[in-house]
Structure 1
Amino acid sequence: MVDQSYQPSIGGLRAFVAVAKKLHFGMAADEVGVSQPSLSQALAGLEAGLGLQLVERTTRRVMLTAEGRRLLPSAMAVCDAVDNVLAEAAGGGDPLSGSLRLGLIPTIAPYILPAVLRGLGHRHPDLELRVVEDQTGRLLDQLREGSLDAAVLALPTNAPGLGEIGMYDEDFVLALPAAHPLAGRQKLAPSMLADLPLLLLDEGHCLRDQALEVCQTAGVSPDLRQTRAASLTTAVQCVEGGLGVTLIPRTAVDVETASGELDTAEFTKPRPGRRIGLVYRESSGRGPAYTELAAEIAELVLASGEVSPLPKSLVP
């Protein structure tokens, strides 16, 4: 039974959240900037006050108990709220200041980061941006556990507890070997994919799922035994080598066609594509700041002319 007069300390909650994220006491201590004995003491005090064991420790591993897993979201929400208060106090009214951990999927990061980093660095010199590139599923896990503050992903994610802010729409383009008979076509019917060896990314990449959706909508059943690539760059290199064709986002065209060995074709309207947005934890209490960040990223990417703004009814 919990003593109703007990008030958990923010230090104890931070220790618990850090251990839950790292599942290692030494790494968790480094995360919160305290010694390992101090971290262990803070966690022990929290467990004693709650009358619950939150973390199971063995000589080989650290695990959350069932009670720990149940209370972790609430503990993270409290830490997020305190961080938000500190950020507001230190930011002098600028919501985009201090440290921000931003995730991006591999089919976005290489193509928009140069413009985004330059633009945000110029507009918000006090913003300390840390970038993590990973697949969608792992970025969502890092958002939930607090390792990331926000992530640029293809929408919708439909992930409970996470907010989504649409930023821009992006067409898919068909990448072909140079001098392919379809190269340069402007009105390619998606149904023509049935006659082409379509290369897909490995499972876990959202672009793979999106390519399969395009095929399904067009009534095409791609051969899943075709070459699969771990990255979009590898898929493009396979196309250049004559192994097939693949779908690439429009923002990738300039980078991936720079070698001169790749050509493209565009689909008929309405062209297949994806919506890109910013995803964050709703419990962070920083919805307005992330709305501003999403608007600025969208503005910087839209300046390239390669993507389309959202319909006005969907702009936050």
Structure 2
Amino acid sequence: MTDQSYQPPITALRAFVSVAKHLHFGSAAAELGVSQPSLSQALAGLEAGLGLRLVERTTRRVMLTAEGRRLLGSAIAVCDAVDDFLLDAAGDLDPLSGTLRLGLIPTIAPYILPRVLQGLAERRPALDLLVVEDQTDRLLGQLRDGALDAAVLALPAGAPGIGEIPMYAEDFVLALPQGHPLAGRKRLSPKMLEDLPLLLLDEGHCLRDQALEVCQLAGVSPDLRQTRAASLTTAVQCVEGGLGVTLIP
């Protein structure tokens, strides 16, 4: 049982976070600028103080225990808070300085990233941007664990404890092959999806779920073809090849 009076040193928490990040004691020690024995001693002291095993270490690999995975997010948050405190004390606290871990869903990352990255080094020289491209559920998990600072997702994400700030709104458009009878129409009723061969993204993509929600709200059961794409670009190429139609932002 954890001693409630135990106050873990920030050096021990940093040691735990770095080992969890690298899963390698040598790399973690190098990142923190300490020796491996000092790192191991700090981590062992943290585990002893908590009465919990956080890391399993064998001759071949380093792994987090279940308790280590559970507590990692809190440890990252504490280390980040201490860093912010020190920057604030020095009068240098800027939300766009230091490391910013940004997640993006694959359906929009190729379109947003060029605008975000263009000139970023010149505008924000103190910002170290780390980009993670992944599906919505995994990005939300990393946000909850503290492994990400922010993520660009399709809303509503509906995740308890995570704030949402709308950035922009887009309509769905129906991508059709050239020469299709519906090509050139400005407005289409979702009812028309009933008889169209609809191509969808793979399971796990929020855009797939949103396309199916459009069909559900319209009360239609579209002809779902077996062709599935991992990106919007592939889906559009399949449409151009005459394999069906698709809904895209």
Matched residue, 2:112: 112
* 1:272-291 equivalences in 2 (<5 Å): none
CA deviation after TM superposition for structure 1 residue 99, in Å? 2.4
Matched residue, 1:141: 141
Are the equivalent residues in 1 in contact too, given 2:135–2:205 (CA < 8 A)? yes
* 1:26-45 equivalences in 2 (<5 Å): 26-29=26-29, 32=32, 34-45=34-45
Matched residue, 1:231: 231
DSSP-derived class of the 1:103 partner? strand
Letter in 2 for 1:175: A
* 1:171-210 equivalences in 2 (<5 Å): 171-210=171-210
Letter in 2 for 1:203: E
| Distance verdict in 2 for CA 1:231–1:49, change over 3 Å | same
Are the equivalent residues in 1 in contact too, given 2:195–2:222 (CA < 8 A)? no
Pairing 1:97–2:97 present = yes
Moved more, 48-57 or 174-183: 48-57
CA deviation after TM superposition for structure 1 residue 50, in Å? 2.3
Matched residue, 1:152: 152
CA distance in structure 2 between the partners assigned to 1:126 and 1:175 by the alignment: 42
| Distance verdict in 2 for CA 1:4–1:102, change over 3 Å | closer
Matched residue, 1:170: 170
DSSP-derived class of the 1:75 partner? helix
CA distance in structure 2 between the partners assigned to 1:224 and 1:34 by the alignment: 57
Letter in 1 for 2:226: Q
* 1:65-76 equivalences in 2 (<5 Å): 65-76=65-76
Describe the superposition over 1:70-94 as per-residue Cα deviations: whole angstroms up to 9, x where unpaired.
4334323312211322444567353
Are the equivalent residues in 1 in contact too, given 2:84–2:93 (CA < 8 A)? no
Matched residue, 1:9: 9
CA deviation after TM superposition for structure 1 residue 231, in Å? 1.3
| Distance verdict in 2 for CA 1:191–1:90, change over 3 Å | farther
Matched residue, 1:54: 54
CA deviation after TM superposition for structure 1 residue 180, in Å? 1.6
CA distance in structure 1 between the partners assigned to 2:244 and 2:4 by the alignment: 66
Are the equivalent residues in 2 in contact too, given 1:21–1:145 (CA < 8 A)? no
DSSP-derived class of the 1:185 partner? coil
| Distance verdict in 2 for CA 1:159–1:61, change over 3 Å | farther
CA distance in structure 2 between the partners assigned to 1:150 and 1:47 by the alignment: 30
Describe the superposition over 1:149-204 as per-residue Cα deviations: whole angstroms up to 9, x where unpaired.
21111122233442222222111111111222211211110110111111001111
Letter in 1 for 2:190: P
CA distance in structure 2 between the partners assigned to 1:151 and 1:91 by the alignment: 27
Are the equivalent residues in 2 in contact too, given 1:229–1:235 (CA < 8 A)? yes
Are the equivalent residues in 2 in contact too, given 1:87–1:95 (CA < 8 A)? no
Are the equivalent residues in 2 in contact too, given 1:91–1:98 (CA < 8 A)? no
**What's the Cα RMSD here?**
2.7
CA distance in structure 2 between the partners assigned to 1:91 and 1:181 by the alignment: 63
| Distance verdict in 2 for CA 1:130–1:75, change over 3 Å | closer
| Distance verdict in 2 for CA 1:189–1:199, change over 3 Å | same
Letter in 2 for 1:51: G
Are the equivalent residues in 1 in contact too, given 2:104–2:151 (CA < 8 A)? yes
Letter in 2 for 1:234: T
Matched residue, 1:241: 241
Moved more, 213-222 or 159-168: 159-168
Higher relative contact order (CA 8 A, sep 6+): 1
Are the equivalent residues in 1 in contact too, given 2:87–2:93 (CA < 8 A)? no
Letter in 1 for 2:220: V
CA deviation after TM superposition for structure 1 residue 210, in Å? 0.8
Letter in 2 for 1:97: S
CA deviation after TM superposition for structure 1 residue 62, in Å? 3.7
CA deviation after TM superposition for structure 1 residue 96, in Å? 1.6
| Distance verdict in 2 for CA 1:132–1:71, change over 3 Å | closer
Matched residue, 1:298: none
Aligned length: 249
DSSP-derived class of the 2:153 partner? strand
Describe the superposition over 1:36-58 as per-residue Cα deviations: whole angstroms up to 9, x where unpaired.
44332221111122232222334
| TM superposition score normalised by structure 2 | 0.86
CA distance in structure 1 between the partners assigned to 2:67 and 2:191 by the alignment: 52
Matched residue, 1:84: 84
| Distance verdict in 2 for CA 1:228–1:28, change over 3 Å | farther
